[in-house]
Amino acid sequence: MSTSAADYSAGIDPERALKYAVQHIRGDRVQIVEGTIEPVTPTWDHERAAKLIRRQIAARVEDLGCVEGSGNLDLPGSSNWYVPDIAVVPEELAKGGSALVPDQTLLIVEVTSESNADTDRIVKRGRYAEYGAPLYLLIDRMEQSATLFAEPGRLGYTRVDGPHPFGTPIRLPEPFDLVLDTGNL
């Protein structure tokens, strides 16, 4: 009796297999956006914008007992595996090396690039809301603006502050309770 390809794949979960594969790509960081594998290769000006946000939130992140970084975020039940530019998570959740889900974050920040601006503006905004990320800050370098999204729901964020042109202070609500300077982004 011969064995067909269907016999081998009958017990394989495609979502799990895809996410396993991207975690084991050597040398490059990649994410999955709506089933498409994308490299994560930020430019220096992109990294500079993220650094300026990190510097402004660093003391408060420390006070909250959190860490900030660009660790993996899984969106279970979907073909998405994100690598945000910045995510703030409780320190105890950052131990162990596994991916977190958006509702375990306190803040997610995405900085647009020409290659991913619409993904950050539309796709990730919707998915972060659907998966319960409490705050999503979009730093849109193409539009020279910053927008804070809050109060997530399955249909999107219900509170939007912006877009504000760079130079307009952006207030991060509790638990951060601080004002970001967007003038140098």
HEC profile for 8-38? HHCCCCHHHHHHHHHHCCCCCCEEEECCEEE
- Confirm whether 18 is domain-assigned: no
- What is the per-residue pLDDT across 49-73, written as a single tens digit (0 to 9) for each? 999 999 999 999 999 999 999 999 9
Output the domain CATH number for residue 78.
3.90.1570.10
Angle at 141 between CA 181 and CA 55, to 5 degrees: 35
In a domain, 95, yes or no: yes
pLDDT value of position 1: 45
- Give the pLDDT band (50/70/90) at residue 9: low
What is the number of domains present in the chain? 1
What pLDDT score does 7 carry?
A: 47
In this predicted model, what pLDDT tens digit does every residue of 26-40 receive, in sequence order?
667 888 898 888 888
Q: Which tokens belong to 17?
A: 């297999």
Q: Write the pLDDT tens digit of every residue in 107-128.
A: 999 999 988 899 999 999 999 9
- Kindly state whether residue 140 falls inside one of the protein's structural domains: yes
What pLDDT was estimated at residue 37? 84
Q: For residue 32, tell me if it sits in a domain.
A: no
Peptide bond into 165 cis (omega under 30): no
Q: For the CA atoms of the chain, what is the radius of gyration?
A: 18
Residue 113 lies in a domain: yes
Given its phi and psi angles, is residue 63 left (phi above 0), alpha (psi -120 to 50 degrees) or beta?
A: alpha
Residue 95 CB neighbour total at 10 angstroms: 9
- The predicted pLDDT at position 11 comes to 75
In a domain, 16, yes or no: no
Q: Is residue 114 part of a domain?
A: yes
Q: What pLDDT, in 10s, does the model give residues 115-172?
A: 889 999 999 999 999 999 999 999 999 999 999 999 998 889 999 999 999 999 999 9
Report the share of the chain in percent with pLDDT over 90.
71
Domain assignment of residue 145, given as a range: 42-180
Cis peptide before 163 (omega within 30 of 0): yes
Task: Please list, in sequence order, all residues whose beta carbon lies within 8 angstroms of the beta carbon of residue 172, skipping any fewer than 6 positions away.
Answer: 57, 107, 135, 137, 148, 178, 179, 180
What pLDDT score does 40 carry?
83
pLDDT of residue 2: 47
Distance CA 118, CA 100 (A): 24
**Residue 132 falls inside a structural domain:** yes
